[in-house]
Amino acid sequence: MVKRGGFLLLNDKRGEDIFPNVIFIVVNILFFSMLIIFVFKSSTGAMVYEQAYAKQIALLIDYSEPKTDIKIDFSNAIAVAKENKKIQDLVKINEANKEVIVSLSGQGGYSMKYFSDYSVNTEFAGNFLLIHIKEKRVQNG
């Protein structure tokens, strides 16, 4: 049995035994680093923000009265979208289906319906999303 020193890389007899230990440690560090990066990427990914913002916007529309303007800090979502090289159509309001679609990557997005019969428009002002809620226009004829 090889007698080892107190420190992990020290060896009483031959220096060459250090090499496998170093590789072992490096492989473990690499493996767990990859896991940590994966967890971090998942927690700040488009999937999480798309759902959160779509639901938040739909609930805000339903909670509002006509002639309301809402300003939402969208900086986190914009940062995620930029990472995914998506710069247009981050938020869409489908008036026909009464749904909010938030898309922060090129791979689809998240859709949430709302029940209010209002006319809703959105626009960006810097890192803020502005939502304009108006009374639905009555069509004549």
At which residue do the structure tokens 């626009």 appear? 123
- Rounded CA-CA distance 42/45 in Å is 5
| Interface with other proteins, residue 124, by CB under 8 A | no
Judged by CB under 8 A, the residue of 4, 11, 45, 83 near other proteins is 45
| Interface with other proteins, residue 15, by CB under 8 A | no
x/- contact string, 83-102, with other proteins (CB under 8 A)? ---------x----xx--x-
Q: Is 77 exposed, middle or buried (0-12, 13-18, 19+ CB in 10 A)?
A: buried
**In Å, what is the CA distance from 128 to each residue of 15, 24, 72?**
60, 48, 5
| Interface with other proteins, residue 135, by CB under 8 A | yes
Beta carbon nearer to other proteins, 74 or 114 = 114
Longest dimension (CA), the chain: 98
- Rounded CA-CA distance 49/76 in Å is 8
Query: Site residues (CB under 8 A) for other proteins?
Result: 16-17, 19-21, 23-24, 27, 31, 35, 38-39, 42-43, 45, 47-48, 50-52, 54-55, 58-59, 62-63, 66, 92, 97-98, 101, 103, 106-118, 135-136
